[in-house]
Amino acid sequence: MTRAFLAVLLVLLVCAPSAGAHATIIRTTPADRAVVGSAPRTVQIRWSEAVDLGPDSVRLLDATGGVIDTPKPTRADGDAATAVLRLPAGLKDGTYVVSWRVTSADSHPVSGAFSFSVGAPSAVVVSTEPGTASPAVKVADGIARGLAFAGFALALGGAAVLLLLGGDRRGLRWVWVGATVLAAATLVLLLLQGPYATGGSLLDPSLLWFSLKTRFGEALIARLVLTAAFVALVTAALRGADAAPRPPVLAAAVCAVGLTLTWTLADHSRTGVQVWLGVPAASLHLLAMGLWLGGLAALLATAAPRTVVARFSGLALTCFVVLGVTGVYLAWRQSGTPAALPATGFGRLLLVKTGIVLVIVGLAVLSRRAVARGGSVRRTVLAEAVLGVVVLGVTAALVNAAPARVAYVDPVDVIVPGVDGGQVQVHVTPAKQGENVADVYLVAAGGRLIIPPEVTARLVAPAGQDLAPLPVELGSAEPGHYVATSLAVPTTGEWTLRLTVRTSEIDERTIDVPVRIR
């Protein structure tokens, strides 16, 4: 049965989506594609949240792909969300590429690149995409994250059944099994973090040192220490007297709370709005999940007597209430709007998790009634446990996905006066910094599409941003409907899509369409 649980978890984790971009670029100096008269002394990159910097997190390349020696990137006046790369003196005229790969506040690597030119642009033959971690590293990282959740749940739930519900002391071995799985998965995550964050080799020892100095690495070290302390305290509590509460039990409870913080202080919880409430809410959510799912596994593994099952029923009810309250709050906090749930991978995973939990709640109600009647609950408890493993897999995938509040942005729909009493309709999606798609419709007063001799477009930067207008390549999707399939917007703000519509051989009309990029 345990092997079946692990097989289900493994399949879910292998199929889990890889992490999306969690920290996004807010501003670069110089701006992307900017042309400057003289070589700048520094390059600055500002992200939407704090990032961890490594020695090669930001690199400067020439137009042929050659790496230009620079000092290590530093913080801008202690700002953890801004990196500064000091440039060497004497940069020649031409185009340069700044390639970056950092670890966001929620422990996931993000990468990208931008270019600027000194004097005049030159032909660029180098790819602007930095190296990425191998698929094997990504899959192994996802599996390790899921197994860490499973180990934590088994250790915590097993300890709760033993210390709080009077379970069979032979169940202590399951606490040790859970702690061992948790510790092993944590060590694997520590070894993988460097290659995952930088795209480097597993055999590079410097990457382990880099991982140890990141917030995520510090959290993993704390997790190892707290895991050892937790299992030692649980063992000591079982050797003591039967009176409760006992100091080892209280100390073990403190360790359990500390273990949850090694996740919540290094994942989505510490980013976004209301961090002061999001972190404790996520810790409570994780504690309730561990007590409930781990307790179910302990009941099945030790064939617990009916009295213990009845006591666990009350504990499970409390866990359901905590999971429900914290789950609703965390879903709102990470999604921002209900429209983001079906529109993003994070939201869809959250809906799947919610549906499974509701099914489990129904099974728990049946189990509670069966206990009251004196009937058998083994089948329903087994079904709860199997679905609980699925919940663990989905939870691991959620941790590895970009929050819906980051991934989802309402598209922009703008209608402005057009040619000869008509309209210009513009639809921009996703209306975020980076790559976008713009649909432009030229509509006559009667509602039909206009077919002008020529339409060109430029993207004008917001006021206060020293950027030259960016050319926009418009393709014809159908008569009167034009599409820019690669509308690259380097910064957020109120941009203007400036359309020039030639209506005859000698006449043309300039139409400004406001586009808000968030």
Give the DSSP letter string of 193-243.
HHHHHH---TT-HHHHHHHHTSHHHHHHHHHHHHHHHHHHHHHHHHHS-S-
Q: 25-118 and 412-517: same fold?
A: yes
Q: Tell which residue, 48, 52, 81, 83, has the closest CA to residue 433.
A: 48
Contacts of 158 (CB under 8 A, 6+ apart): 171, 172, 174, 175, 178, 294, 295, 297, 298
> Global pTM?
0.72
CA 5 to chain centre: 26
Instruction: Please enumerate in sequence order all residues whose Cβ is within 8 A of that of 305, keeping only pairs 6 or more positions apart, or say none.
Output: none
Fold of 25-118: Immunoglobulin-like (2.60.40)
Query: CA torsion sign, 20 to 22 to 27 to 29?
Result: negative
CA torsion 343→348→351→356, rounded to 10°?
160
Q: How many angstroms separate the CA atoms of 9 and 429, rounded?
A: 36
Q: Where are the domains of the chain?
A: 25-118, 134-407, 412-517
Q: What are phi and psi of 3, to 5 degrees?
A: -65, -40
Per-residue pLDDT at 148 = 94
Show the tokens assigned to 455: 């339409």
Counting Cβ atoms within 10 Å, is residue 345 exposed (0-12), middle (13-18) or buried (19+)? Answer: middle
Contact residues for 450 (Cβ-Cβ < 8 A; gap 6+): 418, 419, 422, 442, 443, 444, 480
Q: Which amino acid is residue 130, in one-letter code?
A: P
pLDDT in tens, 475-512: 888 888 888 888 888 888 889 999 998 887 777 889 99
- Going by CATH, does the domain composed of 412-517 fall within 3.40.30.10? no
Averaged pLDDT of the chain:
82
Q: On the CB side of 250, how many CA atoms lie within 13 Å of its CA?
A: 5
Write the pLDDT tens digit of every residue in 332-382: 888 877 877 887 788 888 889 888 888 888 887 787 777 667 666 677 777
Q: Which parts of the chain sit beneath pLDDT 50?
A: 1-2, 4-21, 244
Q: What is the pLDDT of residue 8?
A: 45
pLDDT at 22: 58
